[in-house]
Amino acid sequence: MRGRPMLYTRYESDQALLNTGTKKVMMGLFIVLLVLIPFGVVPGLTFLSQPDWMRLLSTVCIFAVGALGLNILTGLAGQVSLGHAFFMGLGAYTAAWFGVEPGPLSGLGLPMWVWLPLAGLVPAIVGVLIGPVAVRVRGLYLAFVTLGLVFIGEYIFRNWVYATGGPDSGRTFPSLEWKIWKEETPLVDFQSDGVWFGVEIIEEAKTYFLMLLLLVIFVLLAKNIQRTRVGRAFQSIRDRDIAAEIMGVNEVQYKLVAFGLSSFYAGIAGALLATFIGRTIPERWNLFLSVQFIAIILIGGAGVVSGVILGSVFVTVLPRLVQDFSSWLADYVSEGEGAFVWLADLFISTGSGDFGLVNTLPGVGPGLSVFQFNQVLYGLLIILFLIFEPLGLYGIWLRIRNYWKGWPFTY
């Protein structure tokens, strides 16, 4: 109602995906912004149309898909999992098995509309099969059980050379192209330059549009799951599992569903990441990848879809920002001019005798590499957000929004 936007007279209005006019307008503007970014026409964001930033934005979309799955399991159902990397690797090699032409390694050469859903279904089936063992424990013990999956997966992926290519060279993955079956010329090739609707578009932008479309689909799916009876059952188990079971919620059944859905999302994300990279080794699906997804949902905001998006952007873009900032500081120190050179020199190590926190020449001098520094940052950010802002970036946004809604009052 006009003047009373939060007054609802129907449950359908209250539970709508965009339940206010402001949300509808902002979402429309946000989608238009995302579509216009590759064309370099957005003031202040033209640098995002460069190929390297386009690839980074595609990576953000892929990580967001995977994080949505972990959010269903951990954020909604309250089941702590460190095995996300295992299911991503399983999805990646499922995609390779069904999508790559047979050769030195196994493959069936099926089109994308076949191998991509199968990349999610196979991990989902494995997740449901593993679920009965995992649901017998909870909390820290569940984290250890799922942690074991990562090490088991690393061993299988490293030694099953016929399917994975082994630890030395790895294997190639199917191309991002849309075919009806196995024809030579695809209908749409997302990994080559071309013309869409009369506009010249680079391959990185085409890949970005594909990843963005898939992200929108999986966001809508995750958001609707959260609003259903299944989603409410997940949240009741998360908040008070014993009380939920007393009220008739089948705890084992819904935990299995949560494991299956989370594994499905992880498999899709793993397949997209592997095909986006093109070739990767089995060691990529390691514990650090699982920790990255834990960082995404904790930093962004567990249990909230928009928090997952925020966390994915933050965690994926952070290494690039750290790398660029470190390079700028190294140049600043090498020039030797400026009032804060001494401070920058404490942070940057540029030679064998130069002691600093971050080393821009790994192996030459002391200090952490950029990759190691990012690992330290992930740990620190997880600790800080858990202590000071458990709702993550989404909680910070809520504080800002509520402040302006209540301004000039402070309560």
DSSP string across 13-30: HHT-SS-SHHHHHHHHHH
pLDDT attached to residue 137:
79
**20 located within any domain:** no
The pTM assigned to this predicted structure is 0.92
Using only C-alpha atoms, the chain has a radius of gyration, in whole angstroms, of 23
**Quick one: 340 and 275 in the same domain?**
no
- Write out pLDDT tens, residues 103-124: 888 889 999 999 999 999 999 9
Domain end (from 235, 254, 285): 285
pLDDT attached to residue 62:
97
**Quick one: 272 and 355 in the same domain?**
no
Asked if 60 and 316 touch (Cβ cutoff 8 Å), the reply is yes
**Quick one: 204 and 245 in the same domain?**
yes
* Averaged pLDDT for residues 366-372: 76
Residue 296 pLDDT grade (very low, low, confident, very high; cuts 50, 70, 90)? very high
**In the structure encoding, which two tokens stand for residue 19, read together?**
């339940």
Sorted by sequence, the CB contacts under 8 Å of residue 296 that are 6+ apart come out as: 63, 67, 70, 308, 311, 312, 314, 315
Give the least confident one: 119-128, 186-195, 225-234, 366-375: 366-375
**73 located within any domain:** yes
pLDDT attached to residue 323:
85
Q: At residue 240, what are phi and psi to the nearest 5 degrees?
A: -150, 90
**Quick one: 271 and 324 in the same domain?**
no
**353 located within any domain:** yes
* Averaged pLDDT for residues 267-289: 93
**400 located within any domain:** yes
Residue 348 pLDDT grade (very low, low, confident, very high; cuts 50, 70, 90)? confident
Task: Look up residue 368 and give its DSSP letter.
Answer: B
Residue 165 pLDDT grade (very low, low, confident, very high; cuts 50, 70, 90)? confident
* Averaged pLDDT for residues 63-81: 94
**22 located within any domain:** no
User: Which residue(s) pair with 196 in the sheet?
Assistant: 199
**Quick one: 252 and 313 in the same domain?**
no
Distance CA 161, CA 69 (A): 28
- For the chain, helix, strand, coil in percent to 5 are 70, 5, 30
**Quick one: 110 and 206 in the same domain?**
yes
Q: Give the domain range for residue 218.
A: 48-285
Domain end (from 285, 312, 335): 285
* DSSP 3-state of 115: helix
Sorted by sequence, the CB contacts under 8 Å of residue 376 that are 6+ apart come out as: 368
**Quick one: 326 and 242 in the same domain?**
no
**Quick one: 158 and 257 in the same domain?**
yes
Q: In the chain, how many domains are there?
A: 2
Which of 103, 81, 58 has the alpha carbon at shortest distance from 312?
58
**Quick one: 269 and 308 in the same domain?**
no
**Quick one: 99 and 229 in the same domain?**
yes
**Quick one: 319 and 272 in the same domain?**
no
Give the least confident one: 11-25, 78-92, 111-125: 11-25
**Quick one: 112 and 231 in the same domain?**
yes
Distance CA 329, CA 350 (A): 10
**13 located within any domain:** no
pLDDT attached to residue 8:
75
Average pLDDT along the chain: 87
Distance CA 105, CA 116 (A): 19
**117 located within any domain:** yes
**39 located within any domain:** no
pLDDT attached to residue 110:
92
Distance CA 315, CA 310 (A): 9
Domain end (from 254, 285, 316): 285
* Averaged pLDDT for residues 349-365: 68
Which of 121, 110, 101, 89 has the alpha carbon at shortest distance from 274?
89
Strands 348-349 and 177-178: unpaired
pLDDT attached to residue 361:
67
Q: Is the pLDDT of residue 2 over 60?
A: no
Q: What is the CB neighbour count within 10 angstroms for residue 155? A: 11
Q: What is the DSSP string of 132-180?
A: HHHTTS-THHHHHHHHHHHHHHHHHHHH-HHHH-HHHH-EE---SEE-S
- Write out pLDDT tens, residues 127-159: 999 888 877 877 788 888 899 999 999 999 999
User: Which residue(s) pair with 358 in the sheet?
Assistant: 348, 368
